Amino acid sequence: MGEFVQLEVEDGVGTIRVDRPKMNALDVATQEEIRAAAHEAAERDDVAAVVVYGGEKLFAAGADVKEMSTMSHRDMVERSGKLQSSMTAVAEIPKPVVAAVTGYALGGGCELALCADIRIAADDATLGQPEILLGIIPGAGGTQRLSRLVGPSRAKELIFTGRFVKAEEALAIGLVDKVVPAADVYNESVAWAKRFVGGATLAMRAAKEAIDKGLEVDLATGLEIERAQFASLFATEDRTRGMASFLESGPGKAEFVGR
């Protein structure tokens, strides 16, 4: 377990909990602990889905600007790849991942939320990529993941201005997927994650990889990725169980074993 990031597992749901007072600023140590927690969540068989959570008050207010201000060009050339890959470790968890967004999710915090498959936000949450106000740009995936999520024009407007986005606007533009009362964010996120406990884990892994990898390539290549993933599942016990259960009892009653 890390000093600032914990992986807590209960009833098949893993929570990656960021807890670095006061604002969950993502310094180098916290970035590396996020990476470690993501890798552990990916590998553990008792984790079917993952919630990324910063606590009741806020998700993460951004990178540790005080730490970054001391870094030279050479320092950041050496660090920037590791910064990106620490966030990508969350995006590459081969299981459903939901970001439970409370309070502020700004800069690196917003980029961390973008690594989840969906985002459930508090009605008083605030998101944004304000790096331009520091004379820099998002460096942990924001220019790429935000534009893929909300479209290039909206992403440019948000990144060029650095403005903050309230929950209702975030929902309207597709930056978040659901807005709930602040007190309900974590429970709603866990409830979403629990839907996948006992599910067809190999098929979900294949679906996530087909979607994510397919977004990076042209349609023909994406279709080939889908075809290969689809065909591969016919070698699994879960496929046999799922189809046999459907033929005998109808949909939704199969008991999967992850093989």
Which residues are part of the catalytic machinery?
63, 108, 111, 131
3-state secondary structure of 235: helix
Which residue(s) pair with 180 in the sheet?
122
Buried b (16+ CB within 10 A) or exposed e, 191-206: ebbbebeebbbbbbbb
d(CA 178, CA 165): 14
Rounded to 10°, the helix 201-214/219-232 angle is 170
d(CA 240, CA 21): 49
* Contact in structure between 259 and 237 (CB atoms under 8 Å): yes
Q: How far apart are the first and last CA of the chain?
A: 29
Q: Which helix (H) or strand (E) holds 79?
A: helix 73-91
Residue by residue, DSSP assigns 82-93 as HHHHHHHHHHT-
Q: What is the DSSP letter of 20?
A: -
* Contact in structure between 194 and 49 (CB atoms under 8 Å): yes
* Contact in structure between 125 and 181 (CB atoms under 8 Å): no
d(CA 143, CA 214): 18
Peptide bond into 22 cis (omega under 30): yes
